[in-house]
Amino acid sequence: MIKLKNPRSKSRLPRLAFSLVFATLLGGAGAAWAQMGAMPGGMSPGGMGAPPPQGPEHEEGPAEAAPEEEGKAAADAGPEGGYANQHRRRTQVIELDGYYRVRSELLHNFNMGLGYVTGQSPQSQSGYPPFPTPLECGTGTGGCAQKNLGDTNMRLRLEPTINISDQVRVVAQIDVFDNLILGSTPDSLISASQPDLRTNVAQAAILSNSQNPPGQNTFTSAISPKRVWGEVDGQLGSLRFGRMPWHFGRGMYFNKGDCADCDGGTTVDRLMAITQLYGHQLALSWDFGPSGYAWGMTAAGQADPGGSPLDLSQNDEVVQFTAALTKKDDDQHFRERAQGGELVINYGVQLVYRTQNNEVFKLSNTAQNNIAPANQTGQTVNGALTREDLDNSTDTTPSLTQHIDAWLLIPSLWFKLGWKALTLEFESTALAGHMGNAGPLRLQESGSADNHLSILQLGWVLAADLKLYKDSLVIGFETGGATGDQAETACSGTTSTCAPNNLNPSPYLNYRWKFVPQPLGDSSLHNFYFSPEYHVDEIFFRRIMGTVTNAIYVKPSIAYWLDVTEGRQLGLSGSLIYSLAPVPVSTPGNSINYGVEMDLSLGYRNIGEKFYAGMVWGVFWPFGALNRPTDIFSNGGAGTATAAQILRAFVGIKF
């Protein structure tokens, strides 16, 4: 942590008045922010607690761990808990936390030996392999001799805190070279979308001597601000406002993604009040969901980038309200009480209510023509939508927005018990709601006016670990599940062009790379998705599927840390994961068994110098659910899935 001294002290009266007004409006009472720790299930400034430590104290083993300082609170442990900060020394003006990491990985046979699929009845569209194949493989239906993919990437995460006073501060999260693949921005490359266009500096990649900053020949910029929010502590409560992380419980569904090996995370635009009530933490928030089209998206707005912002509709907003009540100890206090023989019980409940009146499902035909590619260079006709493009008067509906009358309830429950060497933890989240007009989320019969959609989903995790020999040996067991759905065919184009005659019968398995509408006659949506930052394994759920969905898994694990010298440790860990599909009909093989994965890791950490490194090897053996039987894939692409492997190495520095 880098700190600069505060040169002077300022009056606190205006700040306390500001805090009093807003805390009173939001119903906060009691100056309790000093009690807000970074404990799973507790209330952090960004939401509801910190993620489960990704180190040796949980099932992922030492390869996922970053170094921790002995006796340092979880809130100050770096990227694993950098937003609670209840122990921050407020006499500092600027505090800088973060980490720098480099990760390298080799993915072997992640398509499991399966290729593309030719047209199948009743659709004529072709399908994809389970996972992208190397460019050398082309679009063949069978296996390919080239089986390896991989890269080396890096990220510098900066988490500055500007302390205006002991009660007022601004917190931010900024990533530099965010997951940038090393060697991906050479001075020989002009455009990321046209790799055949080269600069005169180096007309072939082998002649390139330098790398350009991201943004010139990539789709991303070199600097990526992720979150910024303000914190105001007053005698009548604590106020948080801005774009901030959101976490609840173990992080199964709401996960702020600040572990040393995380890629994303849950981020929310929020106005939140926190208080203490009979030993419990109470948080109430008004959240700002998707706001729809804004003036800056139009041609006129883009021509005036410095102008005032303007939202073009007040009826297409997603409005959200959140309430959470938790009882928790910080991580260090929890361990000390449990190891002392006390039965320690922490718990939390959270309820999210979300509603939306209107939605934009499809642009007008005129607007679609205006933004369609004009030539082979990928340039558009007008470059941006005009205000008139946002009108549907020339189409079948007079307005761009459609009434959907949607609502959603998201209740969550978290429970944690500790006694001596044993820790038991449970989390569950459900989604229940309704959409009067589901738009492209549901395929419609021609001429049918009924397009409602019911939403009912459930996910859960139960984990236990036994810590022996002064926490050096950790024996763990975890099981979890997520409801599934019968829908399996994906739209071949965008959501606006989705139709029964335009479907991909075999999409990628990763949920982020496909859009699967409900089939004809199906008015219920049941697929639950874990947060992608809740890491269960290394191959199947994390990379091939994208997360845990339509699955039940069991995971025994073991980890051991050896003290090499004072402050330096070497760790070994291993885990075995078996997974099955609750709804087999939506798997490629229409079978229940996904497969078994084994992950082994070796880790090193220097606690004093905050340096960590490690390697992970994993292998996934697929079963019947991932095969392609000939009776289903009769027109090509049939085959038996084969084992996939991964080899990862990483190194990092925390500050």
Peptide bond between residue 79 and the one before it cis (omega within 30 degrees of 0) = no
Q: Which residue would you say has higher pLDDT here, 449 or 250?
A: 250
**Confidence grade of residue 496 (pLDDT, cut at 50, 70, 90):** low
Closest to 2 in 3D by CA, of 127, 118, 159, 109:
159
Non-local (6+) Cβ contacts of 180 within 8 A are 153, 154, 155, 214, 220
Examine the pLDDT at 69 and tell me if it is beyond 90: no
Asked if residue 277 belongs to a domain, the reply is: yes
In this prediction, what percent of the chain has a pLDDT beyond 70?
A: 77
Q: What's the pLDDT score for residue 38?
A: 35
Examine the pLDDT at 49 and tell me if it is beyond 80: no
- Residues 295-315, mean pLDDT to the nearest whole number: 81
Q: Which residue would you say has higher pLDDT here, 222 or 481?
A: 481
**Confidence grade of residue 379 (pLDDT, cut at 50, 70, 90):** very low
DSSP string covering 257-302: --STT-----EEEEEEEEEEETTEEEEEEEEE-----BGGGBHHHH
DSSP string covering 345-384: EEEEEEEEEEEEEEE-----HHHHHHTSB-STT--BSSSS
Q: Look at residue 344 and give its three-state secondary structure.
A: strand
Asked if residue 191 belongs to a domain, the reply is: yes
Non-local (6+) Cβ contacts of 174 within 8 A are 157, 158, 159, 160, 223, 224, 225, 226
341: left (phi over 0), alpha (psi -120 to 50) or beta: left
Asked if residue 381 belongs to a domain, the reply is: no
Asked if residue 84 belongs to a domain, the reply is: yes
Q: What phi and psi, each to the nearest 5 degrees, are found at residue 349?
A: -130, 145
Answer yes or no: are the C-beta atoms of 477 and 556 closer than 8 Å: yes
Which of 59-68, 200-209, 261-270, 368-377 has the least mean pLDDT? 59-68
- The β-bridge relationship of strands 267-277 and 490-491 is unpaired
- 583: tokens are 């709804």
Please state, in angstroms and rounded to a whole number, the distance separating the CA atoms of residues 47 and 348: 12
Residue 15: which H helix or E strand, with range?
A: helix 13-25
pLDDT in tens, 244-259: 999 999 999 999 999 9
Q: How many CB atoms lie within 10 A of CB 494?
A: 11
Please state, in angstroms and rounded to a whole number, the distance separating the CA atoms of residues 97 and 79: 8
**Confidence grade of residue 10 (pLDDT, cut at 50, 70, 90):** very low
Asked if residue 323 belongs to a domain, the reply is: yes
Examine the pLDDT at 72 and tell me if it is beyond 50: no
**Confidence grade of residue 140 (pLDDT, cut at 50, 70, 90):** confident
Strand segments, DSSP code E, in 109-209 are 148-163, 168-181, 189-191, 194-198
Non-local (6+) Cβ contacts of 314 within 8 A are none
Range of the domain at 130: 2-294+315-369+403-654
- 466: tokens are 């036994």
Which residues are bridge partners to 174 per DSSP? 158, 225
Please state, in angstroms and rounded to a whole number, the distance separating the CA atoms of residues 88 and 337: 23
Residue located via tokens 């199906």: 522
Q: Across all residues in the chain, what is the average pLDDT? A: 82
Please state, in angstroms and rounded to a whole number, the distance separating the CA atoms of residues 140 and 136: 10
Q: What phi and psi, each to the nearest 5 degrees, are found at residue 81?
A: -160, 50
Please state, in angstroms and rounded to a whole number, the distance separating the CA atoms of residues 131 and 544: 6
**Confidence grade of residue 86 (pLDDT, cut at 50, 70, 90):** very low
Asked if residue 396 belongs to a domain, the reply is: no
Which residues are bridge partners to 271 per DSSP? 241, 286
Answer yes or no: are the C-beta atoms of 463 and 456 closer than 8 Å: no
Asked if residue 624 belongs to a domain, the reply is: yes
Non-local (6+) Cβ contacts of 620 within 8 A are 537, 539, 540, 544, 595, 596, 597, 643, 644, 645
Q: What's the pLDDT score for residue 124?
A: 44
Q: What's the pLDDT score for residue 227?
A: 97
Examine the pLDDT at 363 and tell me if it is beyond 80: no
**Confidence grade of residue 391 (pLDDT, cut at 50, 70, 90):** low
Closest to 602 in 3D by CA, of 560, 554, 545:
560
Radius of gyration of the chain (CA): 26
**Confidence grade of residue 25 (pLDDT, cut at 50, 70, 90):** very low
Asked if residue 539 belongs to a domain, the reply is: yes
Closest to 164 in 3D by CA, of 240, 84, 88, 232:
232
Q: Which residue would you say has higher pLDDT here, 20 or 425?
A: 425
Closest to 44 in 3D by CA, of 330, 470, 321:
330
636: domain CATH number? 2.40.160.100
pTM of the model: 0.83
Please state, in angstroms and rounded to a whole number, the distance separating the CA atoms of residues 602 and 600: 7
**Confidence grade of residue 342 (pLDDT, cut at 50, 70, 90):** very high
pLDDT in tens, 585-628: 999 999 999 999 999 999 999 998 999 999 999 999 999 999 99
Total tally of structural domains belonging to the chain = 1
